[in-house]
Structure 1
Amino acid sequence: MVTKSTRSARRLFVLAVAMFGFAFALVPLYDVFCEVTGINGKTDNQAAASSVGIDTERVVTVEFVAYTSPGMRWTFEPQINRIQVHPGETHTIHYLATNNARYDTIGQAVPSVSPGLAAQYFNKIECFCFNRQPLPRGEDASLPLIFYVDPELPDDINHLTLAYTLFDVTASVEE
């Protein structure tokens, strides 16, 4: 004979397992959702081909922002904060990174674009975010970004912000 408390304990156990499974599957599901809808500002981590044409009738403002994750002992900033571009026009800018830690570290930059729907129109031809960036202690590095804004960018979007967050991946490389 199964008592009420045993039945309740089984239900709670099944509920706990189901909640854990849902939480475990949430990140991949969110990534798929973002990829399908184009929201969240995620950009491809692959090099794009050069643009085919330039829309000289239109000007788009692109802002550059840089953050470091907590515990990351680097100074990380764009060398230019804002630029006016014609869609299709290729531009090169640089970010400056300085390792302020007392030891060699490796950084990895993760980009995002806002508004999120514009992410699919921001194309990186070459980007430091494609690779991990090893930097000896006390050293500086100029990190290049070559990009263009796709001429197919919707007409109601005239301002993009490209933000990079820099993470310390030294421990994950050493493992």
Structure 2
Amino acid sequence: MSEGLSTARLVPRLLLLVALMFGFGFALVPIYDLMCQAFGINGKPSGEVYQGDQVVDEQRQVRVQFLATNSVEMVWEFRPKADEVTVHPGATTEMLFVAYNPTDKPMTAQAIPSVAPSKAAAYFHKTECFCFTQQVLQPGERIEMPVRFIVDRDLPADVRHLTLAYTLFDITARKPPVPVAGR
């Protein structure tokens, strides 16, 4: 009889443990995102709006390389206008990316950025970026999308080269585009 009592107490405890583990699994994603945002780790720049004093360090140069890739299901052509630029920390710089929808249907896309090396992500500030919004392109439409950025003057001295990479995702199934007349 004591075996039946111990089983009767063990089952609810195990079910509670399973429920807690399941809840913890769901909590990991937002916790991870908060940590990446707070510390600028994993190539994710912090979400803060840059409030720098805009003083340019003319004595120093940093090379910024641009990469553009498509996720597996994305069919758009997507590329930067130039492979790289050399900037002075503190200076505002702009780069254009080109996107082209070769399909016969409207599509919606979202670009996800990352910065390498990851320790430099906190010093790379995008003041305007096409990655802040979803992009809708009509069939055969080509657009130029700007990204304006500032490399912080506090970037560690040993970092002389940064890479800003974007991956473009097709999110049409999640957010169907509305065809625009005359566009």
C-alpha change, 1:133 and 1:48, in structure 2 (3 Å) is farther
Percent of aligned positions that are identical: 45
Per the alignment, residue 95 of structure 1 pairs with 97
Code of the residue aligned with 2:88 in structure 1: it is: H
Considering only aligned residues, what root-mean-square deviation do their CA atoms show, in Å? 2.3
TM-score of the two chains, using structure 1 as the length reference? 0.87
For residues 78-89 of structure 1, the aligned pairs below 5 Å read 78-89=80-91
The answer to whether the 8 A contact 2:39-2:46 is kept is no
CA shift for structure 1 position 43: 2.2
Which stretch has the larger CA shift, 92-101 or 11-20? 11-20
Per the alignment, residue 113 of structure 1 pairs with 115
CA shift for structure 1 position 9: 4.3
- Structure 2: which 5+ runs fail to align? 178-183
Please say which structure displays the higher CA radius of gyration. 2
Per the alignment, residue 29 of structure 1 pairs with 31
Per the alignment, residue 56 of structure 2 pairs with 54
Number of residues of Structure 1 aligned to a counterpart in Structure 2? 175
Which stretch has the larger CA shift, 49-58 or 104-113? 49-58
Per the alignment, residue 73 of structure 1 pairs with 75
Quote the Cα distance in structure 2 between the aligned partners of 1:106 and 1:114.
27
The answer to whether the 8 A contact 1:51-1:90 is kept is no
Code of the residue aligned with 1:72 in structure 2: it is: M
Quote the Cα distance in structure 1 between the aligned partners of 2:134 and 2:6.
56
C-alpha change, 1:44 and 1:35, in structure 2 (3 Å) is closer
- Structure 1: which 5+ runs fail to align? none
CA shift for structure 1 position 117: 2.0
Which stretch has the larger CA shift, 73-82 or 46-55? 46-55
**Secondary structure at the residue paired with 2:115?**
strand
C-alpha change, 1:107 and 1:34, in structure 2 (3 Å) is same
Per the alignment, residue 181 of structure 2 pairs with none
Once the two structures are superposed, residues 36-75 of structure 1 have per-residue CA deviations (whole angstroms, 9 ceiling, x without a partner) of 3221111256764675111111111111111212211211
Code of the residue aligned with 1:125 in structure 2: it is: T
Match of 2:143 among 132, 135, 141: 141
C-alpha change, 1:129 and 1:71, in structure 2 (3 Å) is same
Code of the residue aligned with 1:161 in structure 2: it is: T
C-alpha change, 1:170 and 1:44, in structure 2 (3 Å) is farther
TM-score of the two chains, using structure 2 as the length reference? 0.84
The answer to whether the 8 A contact 2:107-2:176 is kept is no
Code of the residue aligned with 2:24 in structure 1: it is: F
Once the two structures are superposed, residues 121-140 of structure 1 have per-residue CA deviations (whole angstroms, 9 ceiling, x without a partner) of 11122211111111011211
